[in-house]
Structure 1
């Protein structure tokens, strides 16, 4: 990994008051700016979609169906780690006025930068494979559409979503994604209300423990699939573009420091609320499987889990579940394509239209579906590829946000930095274990 301690503070254009929505919102509320914080929510909700993608659905249902409430604690711990990581990513963008890929592009030499970009693009493509396949499975469950056509339709709809961003800007795109996140939450939470959940056993599942090597592997995959590299790269750009569209001054004035502090406060709420929702959805899926699918054969695939839900809870709940899965695939693949464009723009300083980017990353998923690849196998392998890219996003993030040269007075406190390194070490170790066990098996 390159040394980021001496990354220079990037040159930035002056901030004009009308460039920041926060300034506009707080101008009328100088005495009580907190009342306008809700207007600043949005960027983290887009990033949070990565935490409720089809890969998470498969892992959570498998955990609940096979081991009941045993691994509830894994999801709680994973979500707590995700809150810290996504906060640091957004903080980096807000304070520096640069995304994580842009800061990497500034520091790395040409050859290293291109190699770094290549691995990041592979990660983005692997993400897209999982999301497109998830959408294709959902369309197959709802309308019996063949998987290849389902993947093509998923890609086409995601292009419509990206067109909203290209033509209307970031905030309307955020509104659409937040709406789809609400559909996802409803789709995956509905079954919980008609399931006989044992809340005492669920509470007992908060105690960390395992039952054999199989549960260790499953816990590693659940945690490893939680933190997505593309969401880390993207969130720094999302926060910057929403609140710092013109950058920050090279020598920030006192007023700008106050603005940054208020933006960071809004960002903490944004990350906290969005990931609480995403974490609740994940936990709900595990509880649903533990209460209604325990011991049912065939729940190791999304199709099998859907059939089991229909048998146990009725066709209505099964349809709602499939709709949630479809929204998950559509939203997540749009966000993945967006992340790919941010990565390319930052690391190789080349920008391509989001719609073109969507077409390029759609191809690998369609090829796999056309070749008749097992969709569950493709989902698993995409998660393995994602695991390989996690250190390349996490380690630079923690080093940059812990550098006073880069962050100035907003550098991470020592306690935050220590916790961040602990989280990084745990996630990287578990993802390495996941890759090793996957290939060894």
Structure 2
């Protein structure tokens, strides 16, 4: 049993969360007849934690630009990206359930030492780049909400996230519940936005299913929307959250857990996808008269006179919840990556301090916050193919997955998705380097 799974079980016992093996009182794994609701409530969490990566401030920036510049025309891209994310998060959870190990640990045992070190460094860079986006996004929301300068807001955000991370001392479950609650705040905020802002539902439905590219710049934005959707740290973290979560006595147990996990992924990432589409729908009101909106602050400033103070306030509330929750997830993912690849662990507070320092440096140097968000997505583009391809290799290995190995049509579908994502990321990098026209 790994340190991670042992720590989780001890924490769960301390929190009064009984295991989901089938004890004498009749509690069964999800899918059993008795105690089903209680079991579902105990098991729910991993997919909702991972879904935070898909409603982070980086998504806000790209969705705002998509809606403001092209109205409903790029909704199909958001939908497609979310479907791809569902498949890979479900596959990551499947690996954790079947093998009892997370993706970073499996990489450590399968590959040569120098390659493992390189993968660890790249994954840490991705986690820090992601954390930069999350932290700055939360700070922007807090600064606008409380009318503070950005640097003091960043300091206050750092203190708040450190306090929230102390919940991990009581086990993973309280932190999972907190993050799920913050996801609920984001979702409800945008649900209320849809009742406040005018929406052309017919155009939105058409934009969701009819692929269109209005111009060359739309292609660039599509690359950003899709290429930055499947987050490297979310893939690593999801396999860790499902490993050893429930004692597995047989393949039948594993099948039931996989079915439960797939349903949770469908619900959690479905909600995240709807939130992303709602962002585009809300900011589509900028299209035409305010299509030059390109920053988080600009979107807020424009929302107030255009749609009212309530819409602007809900936008800031959701942005703050997004930044805080995704920042917590990025920190946890960094811990999983370090422990899995190199068997080393540092206090989570120290990791948090180290990962926020680059954010302060970037803003202190006068870099625009939205530009910093875009830069972080470019860094992620370099690392993204590694966990995706590694996950596929592990998933099709019978030594790891046994009868649950990925093959046939499922493997072909995942490979096609990887090829699309890699091609789009290569195009994004080439365009960033000036090798492709805008």
Matched, 1:178 2:180: yes
Shift of residue 132 of structure 1?
Answer: 0.8
Aligned to 1:191: 193
Aligned to 1:32: 33
Aligned to 1:215: 218
- Describe the SS at the equivalent of 2:250: helix
Q: How does 1:24-423 map to 2 (within 5 A)?
A: 27-28=26-27, 32=33, 35=37, 36-165=39-168, 167-205=169-207, 206-243=209-246, 255-423=249-417
1:148-186 CA distance string (max 9 Å, x none): 222222222111222101x11111111100111111112
Query: Which range moves more in the overlay, 121-130 or 180-189?
Result: 180-189
Determine if contact 1:293/1:308 at 8 Å carries over to the other structure: no
Change (3 A) 1:13 1:66: closer
- Describe the SS at the equivalent of 1:22: coil
Change (3 A) 1:218 1:163: same
Shift of residue 432 of structure 1?
Answer: 1.1
Q: In structure 2, how many angstroms separate the alpha carbons of the residues matched to 1:242 and 1:180? A: 23
Q: In structure 2, how many angstroms separate the alpha carbons of the residues matched to 1:374 and 1:243? A: 45
1:265-324 CA distance string (max 9 Å, x none): 111111111001100100001011113554315411111111111111111221111011
Aligned to 1:6: none
Q: In structure 2, how many angstroms separate the alpha carbons of the residues matched to 1:13 and 1:231? A: 18
Determine if contact 1:220/1:434 at 8 Å carries over to the other structure: yes
Change (3 A) 1:148 1:168: same
Structure 1 residues without counterparts, runs of 5 or longer? 1-8, 249-254
Determine if contact 1:224/1:431 at 8 Å carries over to the other structure: yes
Change (3 A) 1:13 1:99: closer
1:373-398 CA distance string (max 9 Å, x none): 11111000000001111111100001
1:128-160 CA distance string (max 9 Å, x none): 110111011111211121212222222221112
Aligned to 1:23: 21
1:69-95 CA distance string (max 9 Å, x none): 101111111111111000000111111
1:340-388 CA distance string (max 9 Å, x none): 0100001111111222211111111111122221111100000000111
**2:425 maps to which of 428, 431, 437:** 431
How many residues matched?
421
Q: In structure 2, how many angstroms separate the alpha carbons of the residues matched to 1:197 and 1:86? A: 31
Change (3 A) 1:164 1:366: same
C-alpha RMSD of matched pairs (Å): 2.3
Determine if contact 1:64/1:294 at 8 Å carries over to the other structure: no
Determine if contact 2:20/2:28 at 8 Å carries over to the other structure: no
- Describe the SS at the equivalent of 2:243: helix
Shift of residue 415 of structure 1?
Answer: 1.2
Shift of residue 38 of structure 1?
Answer: 4.4
Shift of residue 100 of structure 1?
Answer: 0.5
Structure 2 residues without counterparts, runs of 5 or longer? none
1:3-53 CA distance string (max 9 Å, x none): xxxxxx99x99999x997332589335852655434311111001000000
Change (3 A) 1:74 1:328: same
Q: In structure 1, how many angstroms separate the alpha carbons of the residues matched to 2:59 and 2:360? A: 21
Shift of residue 191 of structure 1?
Answer: 1.9
Determine if contact 1:228/1:390 at 8 Å carries over to the other structure: yes
Query: Which range moves more in the overlay, 138-147 or 388-397?
Result: 138-147
Determine if contact 1:90/1:235 at 8 Å carries over to the other structure: yes
Change (3 A) 1:143 1:290: same
Query: Which range moves more in the overlay, 209-218 or 43-52?
Result: 209-218
Change (3 A) 1:366 1:13: closer
Q: In structure 2, how many angstroms separate the alpha carbons of the residues matched to 1:79 and 1:61? A: 17
Q: In structure 2, how many angstroms separate the alpha carbons of the residues matched to 1:144 and 1:94? A: 46
Determine if contact 1:128/1:333 at 8 Å carries over to the other structure: yes
